[in-house]
Structure 1
Amino acid sequence: MSISATCRHCGTTFNVKDSLSGRRLKCKECGGQFKVPSIDDDYEERPVKRRRRRKSSQSSGPILVVTAVVGLGVAVGAVVVFQQMQPSSASEVADVSTDKPSAANSPREETVVIESSPRRGSERPATDSVDATSSKPTKPSTSPEQSDPEPTGWSYEPDPLTLPEDDAVARTGRLEGQGDPTLSLGSPTVALLPPLSGFGNLEVWNLDQNKRVGRQLRGVGNIKHGTRTVNSDGSYVAFNDLKTKSDEVWSTKTGRTVLQLEPLSGGNTYSLQFVGPDKLLRHSYVSGDDRHTQFETFAVPGGELLGAFRVDALVSTGKLHFSPGYRYMVIRELNRILIYDLETGKEIGTDAAEDSFDIRSPKSVAFSPDGKELAVLSEHSYEGTLRIYDLASGKRVLEHQFPSKLTAGARIQHGEPVIQWLPNNIGWLMSHYYILSRKTGKIVAGLQSGDLRTSHFWLLPGDRVLHGRSSSGLQLTSFPHERLEKVLASAESDEPAWLKPGQSVSLNVKVLNARHESNEEVEAELSEALAERLERDGFTVADDQDVTLHVVYGEAKGKTLHEMKSAPRDRYNPLARNRGTPTGNKADATSITCRVAWRLKKRAQPLWQSDLSFDQTFALLRDKLTDKALRDSAFSMLRLRLDQEFIPYYIPEGRLNETLPMLISLD
């Protein structure tokens, strides 16, 4: 007679003689020791067989390709189905195995393995489940059938950001840990992964103390992009392992895995998000005949399924946004937004709100820190609109429009917000760079810090900014909101100013030389564009005024560009650069310089001045390659830069460093 025994360290199963019952043996595979179960042991004493993590036969494919497919597959009519699950349901089996600590003082650790739950409509016999906390068998329970929720009216309760009460000093300075950061909203902790890699030794750092939280997580595996998340106190980190397809939760207290979730049957994990210190939300897409997006909430570290609901549409990772307290979740669809209550799994009734949430091309969403308002940015063509909703009633309370895209040229890292609320509700930070005033909707400032628009950037509680590159290190800097509020108050007061919205100004445009058009034609085009810009900033353009906007423009022969016939993108390697095939055609580009300055009649020095230059090295043309086609392309780019340039609309007398918009340096 033989006994089946499993090594707790590597999961290898052996058949041993019954004479070895109750003895400890050494594993031939990994060298670890394990105990052979006794023949007389009852069910509670018998170790539960630990399942090996199943390998998937399907390749996940390039991430970029998946994202492109997701972006095109969003449906407008999303139907929500909610299922309130009881812990230890009949459709889940929780297996518990206790790993031996690596150090003598390490606490004992339980690793919970959760099997994939069946897809809706599939049949599966009821199975006894094991409670993850007591390891005692419980009676099988039957989960209620999923059904369409009844339509409800608008229902929202404020979900503010709750900060932990401690005496920690809100420090600034350089963070000693390096890596790609992942933050937990309202928490002083940040998870760092080695830069330029999806695997290695992951660490969690406390920003206030500038030290690591708990142990280093060694050999975390190949992490799927967009799935890494850390809870508010830094005790747990979760991610999806690309190799095994399972979702893992690691403890920073012991440096070990405490929970493994097998992938949803027929589905792939898109993202993971801690929605509480001990609650993990899994976002999966299920393919096949019953295509839908599934959301499940699990207890950590026990692994009990607390709730689940589905959306009959394809929802990508970047289209999810959460309230400060993580009770509500916003899904951005193609032409509207939907808000779900994660406690009930139901849509809160956007159709019953006082104002419509049908918004064309929503770009980003952000809750206010008190959870009472919602900012929605939409962009299409070359225009943008920011809408602010009062969530108590669903009524739109503010709307600001912009003549250009505020996200153009910005490289927002995955998981980082496009919209961030400023302290004291004075406005918003957009695309890591533009600061908008809540009262006027104007751009009042821009942030400067090296190559800020391509680095990591977060506004943190305590009026701090976390910014920098993963390779060179992260920096904590105080946000100068008091200085900004002072200048805003000055602009709204009756203090004397050389330049202020509402007054009349003159416009003087001088063209030195134009390559393919007459100087007069170029002068007329620039005068028309700048006059529109001044009127938008609140000025009236008239002749012979005390303050004049002077513009000096010039063109010159630039570099010689060669035409390349575009080639299709490599479907197997979409990140590869394919320059195409040379056609032999070439043309001379146009180099443009432009100086813009505010000048006062009786003052020799300008009040403000900026030099713009554009040396063309690349162009996308629909028509035939010619010198004039390249010049027209360069001129269009210059007009766009003039439209986005920080041309001051407020200059106080005697304080040239307090203009609006102003540049704020974080260095």
Structure 2
Amino acid sequence: MSIQARCQCGKAFQAKAELAGKRVKCPSCGGVFTVPNASPELAPADDPLGLDGIDLSSPAMGASGGQYLPSHQVAPQNGSTNRTALLLLLGIGGAAVLLLIAVVVGVMLFFVSSDDTVADSSTSSPGDISVAPASTSPGTSLPQSPATPASGIPSSQSSGATESDVGWKVQADGPASPPAWPEQIDLSIPVPAQGDRVIYPATPSPFVALGLKITGGDNVQLWNLLTGEKAGQMQEAVKARSEYSLSPDGSQLAVKSDDSKHYSKLDIWSFQSGKLVREIECDHPQKHLQAFQFVAPGRLFTYTYGSIGQGTTYLLRVFDTMEGKRLAEIELDTNYTKDRFAVSPGGRYVAALAHNNELSVFDVIDGKLVGQVEVKQFLGDRTGAFRGMSYAPDGKQLGIVYSSTNSNLLLLDMEKGTPADQVEIAGKPPTASAYRGSAVEWIGTKGWCLFGGTVIERNTQRVVWNLELPIVDRLTARRTLPDGWIAQGGPHARKTLRFVPIPWPQIEAGLAAINGSSPAYLKPGGSVSLDFEIGQLRFGTKEDTATRLTEMYETRFRVDEIAIADDQPVVLKVGYSESEGETMYERKGIMGPKTGRTVQATNAQVAMTLATRDGNQTFWKHEIAYDPRSVTVLGKEVNEASVRDSIFRQLLYKLSETPIPYFVPQDAGASQLPGATKLDGT
């Protein structure tokens, strides 16, 4: 057995299996690189639920042979203890919604077209080996590089590179001409019915696309947010498979094709003609298109992975969407999910964060790796789960968000590859999971907004305000400006895109009161008591339940500088009870088969009230009815007790999303912090 290996000089060779993971010398340039590990082939499987980005592999190919066109212009037309059990709610027709709490690894094979070999650098020198580069010519039935390359295409490989190998050659990459946003925008843009996706470009732009849903849309529109006017309209129905990217000039919309036989195909639509103008096969048709974004007008990057032949490939490519030509290619050494990419505002760099928290920065103009750093060295012990990352508008920083009970915003200096700042945030932003917009937005010099709804003031580094939305609108992308949000709201079928102000005068008055001598019932540096009323439990004990709840609240209040103590004048009263939930069925693993076993879930009810001890004044209240639709049981025998325990752990994270006031002024005219703006269905 042999392994396909490629040096950073671009030459590809075939290495002996025993060299997997070892550093070797390149027979062509004399450089040193790492031979990748061989990967076993997985039986291909489709994704019947259309859960893009978690496909394990593609459906099996038919007979090989024939030539396909990677890109073509579309002619105008008329008209056990080791097991993981996933439990799902039994629903009508067997339908269920998956809550994916796992890292899904795609394993595919790499096509090899030569018998060339390389040897271990510790035992051989370049002069010991006679080799010829592997073929990369397009047009064969199973080409290694199937997309049509442009002349002089940059190509490199990042596999096996270390920080010392790569160094840090990244510069700040700001936009040439960012939009000049006014302080207030008078917006009332009607959102086409049944279009729940709001698509903003990955780089600064005044444009937005409306009228799309998971399968496309028959009334897709382009609007200019600065003028409040419609700028384009598709003349035909757009068919898609859940993912979209809008060019920063608003001229093109890239759509993941719904072609069931071509998993790497992109459809390019023009807002100028209103029609489909080009199809681009980004990789072999049976490989997966995991991520794509426009980096500039007429230019986008794609990330594909797959197994065809004898190896797994992970490819980042850059395409000219006007002509369909491939402009650059970079071979990666690991799989990435779509939320782990970020485009610099100037469009020169794509940052990618691996699951081991290694950050790589790629120059998509020169087609090479220009920076690599282990982010985990900056995070300490309380890392939490990765939630998302975004560039600052000037390209000087990259914001990366992690969270568990509390959250951590790491601001990386992109010119140095070192932290510029690190912000610990109480709780987890309510929209952190599955939000479709930017993870971090810089709101001028005032601070940051996380996941389109949680405002952090820069000087105090506290959460000061939240945007509360109906559940149907929480995941829809928003644009945060220094003085407010551009957000979707309104009743069903009559929603509008509108400007929602951030009340900075109220926020600043509250912060001034915290730092001054104004009397307050509760503020940072103070204390609060916890009072639990534990009702009916299906499993566990009241003592254990209260202890675990106390630990969560103590962890959360610590960041707000609020101590938990007995006999305080202000009390957080927590009522908790459980009831029997719906019937769930068991799967072995995320995509594994049903076992035939069923189990009853546990529903939880939580009522929280912040009030004076005598109950005469209530400052804040919130209720949660937790009715889980899925749960993952790790390393335990599946029974109703273990399922209840897993659900309770999920509930604790849910409770950490609830913004609890840390400042309650005695002045009735002053605002609590954090405050909230509620955007309801009116």
TM-score (structure 2 length as normaliser): 0.65
Alpha carbons of 1:217 and 1:649: their partners in 2 closer, same or farther (altered >3 Å)?
same
Indicate the residue corresponding to 2:236 in structure 1: 218
Deviation string, structure 1 residues 447-494 (Cα, Å, up to 9, x no partner)? 112226644131244743223499553421233152364245424531
Deviation string, structure 1 residues 609-633 (Cα, Å, up to 9, x no partner)? 315465768796867867x889877
Indicate the residue corresponding to 2:662 in structure 1: 649
Alpha carbons of 1:306 and 1:500: their partners in 2 closer, same or farther (altered >3 Å)?
same
- SS for the counterpart of 1:348 is strand
Indicate the residue corresponding to 1:280 in structure 2: 300
Offset, 1:393: 1.9
Q: Is the 8 A contact 2:533 2:574 kept in 1?
A: yes
Indicate the residue corresponding to 2:62 in structure 1: none
Offset, 1:659: 0.9
Offset, 1:424: 2.4
Indicate the residue corresponding to 2:192 in structure 1: 177
Q: Is the 8 A contact 1:195 1:471 kept in 2?
A: no
The amino acid of 2:389's aligned partner reads: V
Select 2:344's aligned residue among 278, 303, 323: 323
Q: How does 1:455-466 map to 2 (within 5 A)?
A: 455-461=475-481, 463-466=484-487
Q: Is the 8 A contact 2:167 2:371 kept in 1?
A: yes
Q: How does 1:541-620 map to 2 (within 5 A)?
A: 547-549=569-571, 551=573, 553=575, 559-560=579-580, 566-567=586-587, 594-599=607-612, 605-606=616-617, 608-612=619-623, 614=625
Partner Cα separation in structure 2 for residue 598 and residue 261 of structure 1: 60
Deviation string, structure 1 residues 191-212 (Cα, Å, up to 9, x no partner)? 2344453354533233344443
The amino acid of 1:280's aligned partner reads: L
Alpha carbons of 1:153 and 1:398: their partners in 2 closer, same or farther (altered >3 Å)?
same
Judge which range, 628-637 or 534-543, deviates more: 628-637
The amino acid of 2:171's aligned partner reads: E
Partner Cα separation in structure 2 for residue 373 and residue 254 of structure 1: 37
Alpha carbons of 1:384 and 1:501: their partners in 2 closer, same or farther (altered >3 Å)?
same
Offset, 1:164: 4.4
1:122 aligns with 2:135: yes
Indicate the residue corresponding to 1:539 in structure 2: 562
Alpha carbons of 1:65 and 1:497: their partners in 2 closer, same or farther (altered >3 Å)?
same
Q: Is the 8 A contact 1:330 1:337 kept in 2?
A: yes
Select 2:170's aligned residue among 139, 156, 160: 156
Offset, 1:638: 6.6
Q: Is the 8 A contact 2:510 2:670 kept in 1?
A: no
Alpha carbons of 1:361 and 1:652: their partners in 2 closer, same or farther (altered >3 Å)?
closer
Partner Cα separation in structure 1 for residue 556 and residue 75 of structure 2: 68
Partner Cα separation in structure 2 for residue 282 and residue 629 of structure 1: 42
The amino acid of 2:267's aligned partner reads: E
Offset, 1:410: 5.2
Offset, 1:329: 0.8
Q: Is the 8 A contact 1:160 1:370 kept in 2?
A: yes
The amino acid of 1:173's aligned partner reads: S
Indicate the residue corresponding to 2:54 in structure 1: 68
Offset, 1:377: 1.5
Alpha carbons of 1:118 and 1:295: their partners in 2 closer, same or farther (altered >3 Å)?
farther
Offset, 1:249: 2.5
- SS for the counterpart of 2:249 is coil
The amino acid of 2:617's aligned partner reads: P
Deviation string, structure 1 residues 506-526 (Cα, Å, up to 9, x no partner)? 526364867799988877776
Q: How does 1:409-488 map to 2 (within 5 A)?
A: 411-413=433-435, 415-417=436-438, 419-451=439-471, 454-461=474-481, 463-468=484-489, 473-483=495-505, 485-487=507-509
Judge which range, 512-521 or 156-165, deviates more: 512-521
- SS for the counterpart of 1:659 is coil
Q: Is the 8 A contact 2:468 2:677 kept in 1?
A: yes
Indicate the residue corresponding to 2:12 in structure 1: none
Indicate the percent of aligned positions where both proteins have the same amino acid: 18
- SS for the counterpart of 2:508 is helix
Q: Is the 8 A contact 1:553 1:593 kept in 2?
A: yes
Indicate the residue corresponding to 2:280 in structure 1: 261
Partner Cα separation in structure 1 for residue 605 and residue 668 of structure 2: 32
The amino acid of 1:350's aligned partner reads: Q
Partner Cα separation in structure 2 for residue 531 and residue 166 of structure 1: 41
- SS for the counterpart of 1:658 is coil
Alpha carbons of 1:174 and 1:213: their partners in 2 closer, same or farther (altered >3 Å)?
closer
The amino acid of 1:224's aligned partner reads: R
Indicate the residue corresponding to 1:665 in structure 2: 678
Q: How does 1:310-389 map to 2 (within 5 A)?
A: 310-335=331-356, 336-351=358-373, 362-379=386-403, 382=405, 384-389=407-412
Partner Cα separation in structure 2 for residue 461 and residue 613 of structure 1: 31
Partner Cα separation in structure 2 for residue 351 and residue 630 of structure 1: 39
Partner Cα separation in structure 1 for residue 623 and residue 74 of structure 2: 65
Alpha carbons of 1:199 and 1:98: their partners in 2 closer, same or farther (altered >3 Å)?
closer
Indicate the residue corresponding to 2:91 in structure 1: none
Indicate the residue corresponding to 2:7 in structure 1: none
Alpha carbons of 1:357 and 1:350: their partners in 2 closer, same or farther (altered >3 Å)?
farther
Partner Cα separation in structure 1 for residue 171 and residue 112 of structure 2: 33
Alpha carbons of 1:239 and 1:605: their partners in 2 closer, same or farther (altered >3 Å)?
same
- SS for the counterpart of 1:264 is coil
Q: Is the 8 A contact 2:581 2:603 kept in 1?
A: no
Alpha carbons of 1:633 and 1:571: their partners in 2 closer, same or farther (altered >3 Å)?
closer
Indicate the residue corresponding to 2:255 in structure 1: 239
Indicate the residue corresponding to 1:13 in structure 2: none
Q: Is the 8 A contact 1:412 1:453 kept in 2?
A: no
Partner Cα separation in structure 2 for residue 617 and residue 298 of structure 1: 42
Partner Cα separation in structure 2 for residue 293 and residue 642 of structure 1: 38
Alpha carbons of 1:379 and 1:70: their partners in 2 closer, same or farther (altered >3 Å)?
farther
Q: RCO (CA 8 Å, sep 6+): is it higher in 1 or 2?
A: 2
Judge which range, 562-571 or 271-280, deviates more: 562-571
- SS for the counterpart of 1:314 is coil
Alpha carbons of 1:156 and 1:487: their partners in 2 closer, same or farther (altered >3 Å)?
farther
Deviation string, structure 1 residues 33-88 (Cα, Å, up to 9, x no partner)? xxxxxxxxxxxxxxxxxxxxxxxxx99654757633569xxxxxxxxxxxxxxxxx
Q: Is the 8 A contact 2:156 2:368 kept in 1?
A: no
The amino acid of 1:648's aligned partner reads: P
Partner Cα separation in structure 2 for residue 591 and residue 308 of structure 1: 50
Partner Cα separation in structure 2 for residue 638 and residue 290 of structure 1: 42
Partner Cα separation in structure 2 for residue 610 and residue 293 of structure 1: 49
- SS for the counterpart of 1:538 is coil
Structure 1 runs not aligned, ≥5 long: 1-57, 72-90, 103-116, 128-139
1:187 aligns with 2:197: no
Offset, 1:502: 4.9
Offset, 1:277: 1.8
The amino acid of 2:271's aligned partner reads: T
Offset, 1:662: 1.3
Q: Is the 8 A contact 1:420 1:459 kept in 2?
A: no
- SS for the counterpart of 2:302 is strand
Aligned residues: 546
Q: Is the 8 A contact 1:559 1:590 kept in 2?
A: yes
1:399 aligns with 2:422: yes
Q: Is the 8 A contact 2:282 2:289 kept in 1?
A: yes
Partner Cα separation in structure 1 for residue 551 and residue 70 of structure 2: 70
TM-score (structure 1 length as normaliser): 0.67
Q: Is the 8 A contact 2:453 2:467 kept in 1?
A: yes
The amino acid of 1:548's aligned partner reads: V
Alpha carbons of 1:156 and 1:450: their partners in 2 closer, same or farther (altered >3 Å)?
same
Partner Cα separation in structure 1 for residue 665 and residue 241 of structure 2: 52
Partner Cα separation in structure 2 for residue 268 and residue 524 of structure 1: 46
1:298 aligns with 2:315: no
Q: Is the 8 A contact 2:373 2:417 kept in 1?
A: no
Structure 2 runs not aligned, ≥5 long: 1-43, 58-67, 80-110, 114-132, 141-148
